[in-house]
A and B are shown apart, each in its own frame.
Chain A
């Protein structure tokens, strides 16, 4: 009896931690870094954090969709790299107008997303492997196109996307807010957004309810490709140089941010507004570690630990609920 009571208390705590823990963690991190670095709370630095987080936030919307569906997209980082290179090549080498270059780059990443989805839905390959293979293929392609050297020399107008401001707000932050709003709109208002939850929660029941599960999968991976592409364009504009390693490892940061934001790794559960907090945590963490002069190798270790913690918490929490 006593044991049962104790378990129940743990369960309630876990539910609360899931709900508010992310915000508490964010506040604790901010306090920690502001105590350890004088520059941290500087308004300029805060805007910097927002700007640095924007690419993460844009790609996180796609990853959130994919996770909700019970899948995963590891190719996000490589898609960013490829978009970087293609966009850069079209503008610098082919002299194309930035707008067309952007449209073509986004078409490429969107098509890659669709292909991921098509393979997952029709060949029934595990999403982890499909997107892991894509990751490698796309990385290779980026190197082939660029020859391994950075591509630069873009029209002046292109830099607005990554470096411009509206008032004191950086343009990439505005783009992120728009994409997140679209993501929240899709999930909360549209019927296909509801399907993401349904398919992620129970694929068989969804199909029997008349949902075209394949089409939902196409859509979700396609959107993930599109959002990764937009993140890639923002990155290209910010760095003003196309690099084949631009997005390397980025997918793990995105994954960490989304899972920290409470989207279940097994699908069916999660909200965009919590993902915002997950993204901010990752942004604050990266920025704070740089300000504290933490060695970049240690930064990798810390980020890996955070990913393990986030997924571990999600899994453990589900295990406790399941053994109810």
Chain B
């Protein structure tokens, strides 16, 4: 074996029921290099990282750290072998000082007494090495996100990390903080730390990385030297697959009337978004996770506060302050997180379907149960919800059928604009296809749809136009004849930020 390889993954396979998250992935990480890991949402990057840290155990394969072979890791073992991860969500305690955070869980002690002085001293040493100016006595909650990240890095170094895995480290940072991060990575590299750098932003990959590995659909596609490749090649490798024709054909029913127009909408992490949706159209929202698609739809649905800008709906200016108001206007939102936001698991199917219209089908506050059963059995038929009866609790249904119940709940309120946020996430192929057919049927009936999806194929296959967001801003609008995965990904990984 080559001496300069510090971490080797051999034939790693991880299967979940019905899904292969990692398929026979092998990867060599050289000592002292910055190795970038790129791939679309759900390509398997995180799963790969988790096998290195022991958060998950692979079904097959081996992990070799500096010549020591393991069939699976556990967090302690991983740390003992010098592997540390900086997650997107920091594991810091705001109310404790920087030094205390760095030594959290392995405090320096004198008998049973914590040796604060020593911890401060040691922390200072790490910061001196990195030439960073942070007072170890400061409380972590008073630091900016950028400095908190440095504390995380210092914490890893205090444990003698040799391999530092950084999961989307640039995501929470501002432009100026980003510069510090780059400098930090350079410094760590100089000190001989090996870095695995995961990022959606390809410019960073070229700025920092020595080599880059592309992961797609749980497989390793290729490892390249960064100075022998370019952005276009990487995007091609990330996308790679041909579009399969798995989408039902649709008769175009787009009318000239504008149903909804957003002008300079700002709020909830979304900045200055302007767009129009025509009646009968399917407008796709593309972008990476955290790009602000869900946040934008929440503004329209009255679930978050609009700071500035306006919404013009059916020719009138509206500003829904609650979902209740939005529903009255005829807007519906099928939320992203089915179990948390969509269904009421302990309530039966008919109760779920009628939830948004209960008041409408009540007279003198008493629910008209016959109508409730009529409506819900109607949707059970229309949506093909597989269940022995309507009295089943929703928690007993499969994911696909639960999703149909959520959609049925919204259709029952007879909306004109339906926002579908990741409507096919985590459901099987058959149910997916049914939902696609339903979307077609709805636009044929004159309804308008906003489709948020992280699945490129779905977005391209179902949308009439695609609007791409990145970091809370609209970065591109594609007409049907311009659709391509490359273009969407290009807009989605734009790193232009507003100057701060």
Task: List residues of chain A with CB within 8 A of the CB of B358.
Answer: 191, 194-195
B359 at the binding interface (Cβ < 8 Å): yes
A10 at the binding interface (Cβ < 8 Å): no
Q: Are A201 and B346 in contact (CB under 8 A)?
A: yes
Bound Cα distance from A104 to B229, whole angstroms: 82
Stretch of B28-36, B172-180, B360-368 that contacts chain A: B360-368
Within 8 A of A (CB), among B300-355: 301, 303, 322-324, 326-327, 333, 335, 340-347, 351, 355
Task: List residues of chain B with CB within 8 A of the CB of A205.
Answer: 335, 340-344
Bound Cα distance from A202 to B346, whole angstroms: 9
B8 at the binding interface (Cβ < 8 Å): no
Q: Are A198 and B344 in contact (CB under 8 A)?
A: yes
With A189-B366, A194-B367: A210-B345 Cβ-Cβ less than 8 Å: no
Query: Smallest CB-CB separation from B324: which chain A residue?
Result: A210
Q: Are B303 and A208 in contact (CB under 8 A)?
A: yes
A108 at the binding interface (Cβ < 8 Å): no
A7 at the binding interface (Cβ < 8 Å): no
Bound Cα distance from A204 to B340, whole angstroms: 7
Minimum Cβ distance to chain B for residue A128 (Å): 22
Bound Cα distance from A204 to B346, whole angstroms: 14
Query: Smallest CB-CB separation from A200: which chain B residue?
Result: B346
Task: Give the interface centre of A191, A195, A198, A209 by most chain B CB atoms within 10 Å.
Answer: A209
Within 8 A of B (CB), among A97-113: none
Bound Cα distance from A184 to B454, whole angstroms: 46
Render B178-191 as a binary contact track against A, CB cut-off 8 A, 1 for contact: 00000000000000
Minimum Cβ distance to chain A for residue B320 (Å): 11
Bound Cα distance from A208 to B367, whole angstroms: 20
B409 at the binding interface (Cβ < 8 Å): yes
Render A186-199 as a binary contact track against B, CB cut-off 8 A, 1 for contact: 00011110110110
Minimum Cβ distance to chain A for residue B405 (Å): 12
Within 8 A of A (CB), among B63-81: none
A269 at the binding interface (Cβ < 8 Å): yes
Task: List residues of chain B with CB within 8 A of the CB of A13.
Answer: none
Query: Smallest CB-CB separation from B342: which chain A residue?
Result: A205
User: Which residue of the partner chain, among A191, A201, A212, A269, contacts B362 with CB atoms under 8 Å?
Assistant: A191
Bound Cα distance from A192 to B351, whole angstroms: 12
Query: Smallest CB-CB separation from B366: which chain A residue?
Result: A189
Q: Are A210 and B327 in contact (CB under 8 A)?
A: yes
Q: Are B346 and A269 in contact (CB under 8 A)?
A: yes
Q: Are B324 and A211 in contact (CB under 8 A)?
A: yes
Bound Cα distance from A17 to B279, whole angstroms: 55
Query: Smallest CB-CB separation from B343: which chain A residue?
Result: A205
Q: How large is the interface on B (under 10, 10 to 19, 20 to 34, 35 or more residues)?
A: 20 to 34
Please report the total number of A residues contacting B with Cβ < 8 Å.
21
Task: List residues of chain B with CB within 8 A of the CB of A209.
Answer: 323, 355-356, 409
A170 at the binding interface (Cβ < 8 Å): no
Bound Cα distance from A12 to B203, whole angstroms: 57
Q: Are B324 and A202 in contact (CB under 8 A)?
A: no
Task: List residues of chain A with CB within 8 A of the CB of B362.
Answer: 190-191
Bound Cα distance from A195 to B361, whole angstroms: 14
Task: List residues of chain A with CB within 8 A of the CB of B341.
Answer: 202, 204-205, 208
Minimum Cβ distance to chain A for residue B442 (Å): 19
For chain B, what secondary structure do more than half of its interface residues adopt (helix, strand, loop), or is it mixed? loop
B413 at the binding interface (Cβ < 8 Å): yes
Q: Are B345 and A202 in contact (CB under 8 A)?
A: yes
Query: Smallest CB-CB separation from B327: which chain A residue?
Result: A210
Bound Cα distance from A73 to B452, whole angstroms: 42
Task: List residues of chain B with CB within 8 A of the CB of A189.
Answer: 366-367
Task: List residues of chain A with CB within 8 A of the CB of B347.
Answer: 197-198, 201
Bound Cα distance from A207 to B298, whole angstroms: 12
A268 at the binding interface (Cβ < 8 Å): yes
Bound Cα distance from A207 to B303, whole angstroms: 9
Q: Are A210 and B367 in contact (CB under 8 A)?
A: no
User: Which residue of the partner chain, among A194, A197, A210, contacts B323 with CB atoms under 8 Å?
Assistant: A210
Minimum Cβ distance to chain A for residue B53 (Å): 25
A163 at the binding interface (Cβ < 8 Å): no
With A191-B359, A194-B367: A201-B322 Cβ-Cβ less than 8 Å: no
Q: Are A208 and B366 in contact (CB under 8 A)?
A: no
A206 at the binding interface (Cβ < 8 Å): yes
Q: Are B340 and A198 in contact (CB under 8 A)?
A: no
Minimum Cβ distance to chain A for residue B296 (Å): 16
Render B362-384 as a binary contact track against A, CB cut-off 8 A, 1 for contact: 10011100000000000000000
Minimum Cβ distance to chain B for residue A198 (Å): 5
Task: Give the interface centre of A192, A194, A210 by most chain B CB atoms within 10 Å.
Answer: A210
Minimum Cβ distance to chain A for residue B418 (Å): 14
Q: Are A190 and B366 in contact (CB under 8 A)?
A: yes
Minimum Cβ distance to chain B for residue A192 (Å): 7
Q: Are A190 and B340 in contact (CB under 8 A)?
A: no
Bound Cα distance from A268 to B380, whole angstroms: 24
Q: Are B345 and A198 in contact (CB under 8 A)?
A: no
Task: List residues of chain A with CB within 8 A of the CB of B355.
Answer: 194, 198, 206, 209, 211
Task: Give the interface centre of B323, B327, B335, B342 by most chain A CB atoms within 10 Å.
Answer: B323
Q: Are B322 and A208 in contact (CB under 8 A)?
A: no
Render A152-191 as a binary contact track against B, CB cut-off 8 A, 1 for contact: 0000000000000000000000000000000000000111
Minimum Cβ distance to chain A for residue B462 (Å): 23
Q: Are B345 and A201 in contact (CB under 8 A)?
A: yes
Query: Smallest CB-CB separation from B410: which chain A residue?
Result: A209
Task: List residues of chain A with CB within 8 A of the CB of B324.
Answer: 210-212
Bound Cα distance from A120 to B325, whole angstroms: 22
With A191-B358, A191-B365: A207-B323 Cβ-Cβ less than 8 Å: yes
Within 8 A of B (CB), among A206-222: 206-212
Bound Cα distance from A205 to B362, whole angstroms: 21
Task: List residues of chain A with CB within 8 A of the CB of B327.
Answer: 210
With A194-B351, A194-B358, A198-B355: A208-B344 Cβ-Cβ less than 8 Å: no
Task: List residues of chain B with CB within 8 A of the CB of A206.
Answer: 344, 355
Within 8 A of A (CB), among B384-430: 409, 413
Query: Smallest CB-CB separation from A207: which chain B residue?
Result: B323
Bound Cα distance from A268 to B393, whole angstroms: 13
Minimum Cβ distance to chain B for residue A218 (Å): 15
Task: List residues of chain B with CB within 8 A of the CB of A192.
Answer: 365
Query: Smallest CB-CB separation from A186: which chain B residue?
Result: B365
Query: Smallest CB-CB separation from A185: which chain B residue?
Result: B366
Bound Cα distance from A268 to B343, whole angstroms: 13
User: Which residue of the partner chain, among A190, A197, A201, contacts B365 with CB atoms under 8 Å?
Assistant: A190
A-B contact pairs, 28 of them (CB 8 A): A190-B362, A190-B367, A191-B359, A191-B362, A194-B351, A194-B355, A194-B358, A197-B346, A197-B347, A197-B351, A198-B351, A201-B346, A202-B340, A202-B344, A205-B342, A205-B344, A206-B355, A207-B303, A207-B322, A207-B323, A208-B333, A208-B341, A209-B323, A209-B355, A210-B327, A210-B356, A212-B322, A269-B346
What are the 8 closest A-B residue pairs judged by CB atoms, nearest first?
A191-B358, A210-B327, A191-B362, A190-B365, A210-B324, A209-B355, A209-B356, A201-B344
Known: A191-B366, A197-B346, A208-B303. 13 other contacts (CB 8 A): A189-B367, A191-B361, A194-B355, A195-B358, A201-B346, A202-B344, A205-B344, A208-B301, A208-B342, A209-B323, A210-B324, A212-B324, A268-B346
Residues of B within 8 A of A (CB): 301, 303, 322-324, 326-327, 333, 335, 340-347, 351, 355-356, 358-359, 361-362, 365-367, 409, 413
